Structure 1
């Protein structure tokens, strides 16, 4: 047939191979970091080492402007780019060569194959088809060929048409005409595959070539925002590039959960792990105790980092929780802990009775008349009255201590059995909090360990408490009260919360809440987190760098800028805070939306997530909350009349 495909061509960069960095210019961030720290470049101009990223990007842009105006749009090459940089900074010839060689070396260190497309080429060649490679690229021909040879020896045997070699570009269509002349093939007998919509798809299609657009893995919206805010951060470039490449290679059944781990969980907690290693070294800590359940994934990440660095630090997973430690830690003579206990549970009036280990009716019976409907909400004055009542009620504290006495003995026995407190070179690790649970832990340990204990946190929360025989050390500070709950969704464990302890065969073991855990999804999520950690640790030249840029940007995404895809994934996760396990943010039904609209009470832990997950009608319905209060009250009265 006259339209039979006689020639197949493939783009190279972001079609057959990509880079470890998020954007091509990310290579220049790695170069700048090397220039600043490698003694080989000690005599280079300070302005170059500080601003290399800008000089490199500007030189290429300037040369492309000149080429479009005076050189028929021919592509630029690496030699011309570095000649421009040499003139700009008055570099010596040897310095210029060294700088250009550094770019080639770092490019070579950071190539990653795109296996799916390489396999397609191998299948075409195996079936006797003619395949060539076409690339708009400033790197030298020999360098690109060496990359291809490393990816697969077969690729190195294919004809390569490179813009830096022949001058013509796909972006101006001239490369296609050049290849047509060399290969003696008509456009309609030719199929081309590439990732650039303009150069690889539209331009090829306009000439009659059968063009196929390869949908290279896109960045997530929060990754784009991060890169736009920190384009010159090598750590950001490596982190986002790592996440993107893991998503690209992932073909698992639970891809959403794996991608969540590789793209959000891993990047958020990896800098914390590096910071912990830094702090353990500075403080002489040799034992780390990760507290359930938030410590489950963090411990796995830490174990990988310890092995990668060849350190001698022991880690252990400790079963504990607010529920298991706070009440048993109370004592008659420790009024400071009791004050924090009361203040903490007053933040959740709906479940206040549960915090005091009572059924609702029993708790109501001990309250003064004006405070019995606390669960419906209280004015600031009433809230203070309730606080004063609880703090002044000595019999209530005595009752709590009495009913928790046996539990206290079991907690202390469990801690004695599990912890090595032979010296104070140990620390506990937790995700976030105000510090109450760690204060409770310290009070429990005082029965057999008198020194203050060290507690490392990923972040503090706004309602932070003063320390009681502890040293709280925070990596970050959450500005929003809900940030901690959102991060807890990303540090889940394959078991329920610790309810208490019991003896079995003479050993004290934890009693775990019996809940359903989507272990398949969780396993995929954890694999994504650990794959990210593994790859980042492989970047040995950069693996000790601690950055909080990602943390701040991604927490903002989770808190205020969440998209529908991630609201769906995170909203279905089971979560518990001082209560039973429920879906974190279910979709609003008509009736739950109406309840929220009229009573301002929502059956969700995050209204934003639930709203985003809901259908268009529900979202429009919920927008009525922006109406004046008097109008809503009128609607409420009308609704109840009917």
Structure 2
């Protein structure tokens, strides 16, 4: 209500109104538990805010009607009882009128003609005190044993009806998840406490309308808590900057588009489109000279890959390369700092003409694709992507500048330390603010779990008559049920999120308190259920697939004993569970103790001295 009454520039009035409204409700209901909304606002000094009592009552009724959300599990229970011919009565300790409650129950399919609706403020009796149960018995001329009561309040819905002789069932699935409970605790001293509370309520409401299961819980508490605030800020920022069209870059951008579509009514002036880019399709288009400078840029970002894999990202097969090239290197050679200079030199001296020709051909088709998709239109536009180092952006903007076009602006969720700034006017908005970084595991989970979709990676572009089509590899996640689960969760949460009109500060604080916190907890302290689900996922880089959760090698265990970290990057928490099972926490403590010992310090010193020789 406070946000409907006062704009974000009047935050002091929002907070003052909220505090006074909460104080009055607490005092009125303490003195009269069965008070109604009119009695509540009789005690509220609306004139101090320049408002009328009737206007406030009308506004609260409208807001309550808009934000009340059904519990799908309870609806199913009601429908089953109705099908069995059971008489149904709805009891509520509530100051709102039965007309509003009935309207809401009817809208979502709970209430039917012939049902009973008993509201404490109208029956002058409450569940909490037990008097509402007595009145229901009198009204229906029935006995307690003829009824079964179900609710989520341990006292009013379980202990009290049992004392009155009713059969009672305590509904426990309506609780906040462990993550949502943590977010609520951590928001206590946040400037955006109310926004976090609202978001937790949204998450709970959506979860209760989805099947039980870790995949649904993670879709809500992990995927949505990270991606919904990101996309919402993209739209807020785009509106401020005057962007009229947003391109969501495939594949990672597919789920961002799903979210943005739910906010379309809030940002009707922004057109939403989906476009298919990939490193493998863009890299071959970006070589104008194929000299050592251009090649150095490419091979620097191909380090630790097999040479044949890196070559495929230039759109060239091994057999097409010169005889000198094939004599100098093997297909399986792994690129590193020592051999990359020679690779660049041999390539520039013997095969640059091949790359220039191939790049020119592919670039012409790619430019036709950009023109076809409206990228070269004179419309103020931006692109939306997941992020990391920005190679695709830099490549495309290089091409656009060479062709006399303006570079495009891009929104990134996050970047890594290797982020490429680019040249003049090559600008980007980064959602993860300075100092916040994504770990290797977080990047992997976002790319290969949160953003998974049915699209294959774009290999190249081909022209057929007047149309240009992206040619895609086989979809890595085709048929995976997690795709639809994630989409359903983010769509439902976005629909409710759009009603709340969060400011930029509130939106970002929701992300920090909820999404960013969840990213860290999955990395460092996943539940067993989370581990079991995530450990089944695969990641892919330069065409090489691998499991996200891997076992420690003997070398890793030795490194853990001495250094406290494995010999190569791992999802540590997952690797511990996969390697040691139920004893993982015990071994984690052992590694912490041994790596802190004097012996380990001496071994580390000896190793450092040996490497310097």
TM-score (ref. length: structure 1): 0.73
Residues 1:566 and 2:530 are matched in the alignment: yes
The answer to whether the Cα contact below 8 Å between 1:592 and 1:603 also exists between their aligned partners in 2 is: no
Alignment partner, residue 476 of structure 1: 432
Q: How many Å apart are 1:211 and its aligned residue?
A: 0.9
1:466 paired to 2:409: no
Match of 2:305 in 1: 351
Which residues in structure 2 correspond to 1:576-595 (within 5 Å)? 576-578=540-542, 580-586=544-550, 588=551, 594=557
Aligned to 1:144: 101
The aligned runs of 1:534-553 (5 Å cut-off) are 535-536=495-496, 539=499, 542=501, 547-552=507-512, 553=514
- Give the 3 Å change call, closer, same or farther, for CA 486–81 of structure 1 in structure 2: same
Does 1:439 find its partner at 2:390?
no
Q: Can you list the C-alpha shifts for 1:148-205, whole angstroms capped at 9, x where unaligned?
A: 4544585464333333234443334444345445555444443211121222123323
Change in Cα spacing, 1:410 to 1:517, as seen in structure 2 (3 Å) is farther
Return the offset for 1:435.
Answer: 2.2
Instruction: Give the Cα–Cα distance (whole angstroms) in 2 for the partners of residues 313 and 447 of structure 1.
Output: 27
* 1:529-587: CA deviation from partner (whole Å, max 9, x where unpaired): 56326624763x7389782223323123112355323343334332223451223235x
- 1:224 corresponds to which of 175, 181, 186: 181
Q: How far apart are 1:99 and its partner, in Å?
A: 1.9
Alignment of 1:13-28 (within 5 A): none
Alpha-carbon distance between aligned partners in 2 of 1:398 and 1:293, rounded to the nearest angstrom = 36
Of the candidates 35, 41, 45, which is equivalent to residue 86 of structure 1? 45
CA distance in 1, matches of 2:109, 2:273: 41
Q: Could you give the per-residue CA deviations for residues 295-323 of structure 1, whole angstroms, max 9, x where no partner exists? A: 222234445545775446362412322x4
Distance 1:283 1:96, change over 3 A: closer
Change (3 A) 1:118 1:390: same
2:231–2:260 Cα contact (<8 Å) kept? yes
In structure 1, how many angstroms separate the alpha carbons of the residues matched to 2:178 and 2:602?
41
Q: Partners in 1 of 2:283 and 2:369 — Cα distance?
A: 19
The equivalences for 1:604-615 within 5 A come to 605-611=570-576, 615=581
| Counterpart check, 1:32 vs 2:2 | yes
In structure 1, how many angstroms separate the alpha carbons of the residues matched to 2:307 and 2:458? 19
Distance 2:110 2:511 in 1: 41
Q: Distance in 2 between matches of 1:592 and 1:132?
A: 66
> Given the superposition, is the C-alpha separation of residues 199 and 424 from structure 1 closer, same or farther in structure 2, using an over 3 Å criterion?
closer
Q: CA deviation at 1:606?
A: 2.0
Q: Distance in 2 between matches of 1:130 and 1:607?
A: 55
- Find the aligned partners of 1:112 and 1:504 in 2 and give their Cα distance: 49
- Could you tell which deviates more after superposition, 466-475 or 284-293? 284-293
Among 429, 434, 439, the alignment partner of 2:384 is 429
Instruction: List per-residue Cα deviations over 1:262-301 (Å, max 9, x = no partner).
Output: 5443443334334444444555544544333212222344
Alpha-carbon spacing, 1:355–1:590, altered in 2? closer, same or farther (3 Å):
closer
- In 2, Cα distance between equivalents of 1:196 and 1:222: 21
1:456–1:474 Cα contact (<8 Å) kept: yes
SS of the residue corresponding to residue 113 of structure 1 reads coil
Aligned residue for 2:249? 291
Q: Distance in 2 between matches of 1:515 and 1:126?
A: 44
1:269 and 1:391, CA in 2 relative to 1: closer, same or farther beyond 3 A? Answer: farther
2:607 aligns with none
Query: Are the counterparts in 2 of residues 289 and 317 from structure 1 also a CA contact under 8 Å?
Result: yes
Instruction: Give the deviation of 1:332 after TM superposition.
Output: 5.4
Alignment counterpart, residue 498 of structure 1, candidates 431, 435, 458: 458
Cα distance in 2 between the residues matched to 1:162 and 1:170: 10
| Distance across 2 between alignment mates of 1:47 and 1:441 | 46
Once residues 91 and 316 of structure 1 are traced to their aligned partners in structure 2, the CA distance between those partners, rounded to angstroms, is: 46
In 2: Cα distance, 1:363 partner to 1:625 partner = 46
Question: What is residue 557 of structure 1 aligned with on the other side?
Answer: 518
Task: Give the match for residue 610 of structure 2.
Answer: none
Closer, same or farther in 2 for the Cα pair 1:611/1:83, shift >3 Å? farther
**Which residue of 2 is the match for residue 313 of structure 1?**
271
Instruction: Give the conservation status (yes or no) of the 8 Å contact 2:150–2:157.
Output: yes
1:594-628 CA distance string (max 9 Å, x none): 57746954787522344456721244334432133
**Are residue 171 (structure 1) and residue 124 (structure 2) matched?**
no
| SS of residue paired to 2:60 | helix
Q: Find the aligned partners of 1:114 and 1:606 in 2 and give their Cα distance.
A: 36
Could you tell me how far 1:120 is from its partner in structure 2? 4.4
1:104-144 Cα distance to aligned partner (Å, 9 max, x none): 22112222334554454455456554433322222234443
2:370 to 406, 419, 429: 419
Tell me: CA distance 1:604–1:533, structure 2 relative to 1, closer, same or farther (3 Å).
same
Any conservation in 1 of the 2:89–2:117 contact (CA below 8 Å)?
yes
RMSD of aligned C-alpha atoms? Answer: 4.6
| Counterpart check, 1:107 vs 2:107 | no
Q: 1:266 to 1:173 in 2, by over 3 A?
A: same
CA distance in structure 1 between the partners assigned to 2:59 and 2:369 by the alignment: 51
User: Aligned-pair distance for 1:246?
Assistant: 2.9
Please report the TM-score for the alignment, with normalisation by the length of structure 2.
0.76
Secondary structure, counterpart of 2:430 in structure 1:
strand
SS at match of 2:511: helix
**Pair 1:247-2:203 in alignment:** no
Distance apart, 1:34 and its partner CA: 0.9
Of 395-404 and 103-112, deviating more is: 395-404
Q: Which of 579, 583, 586 is the matching residue for 1:617?
A: 583
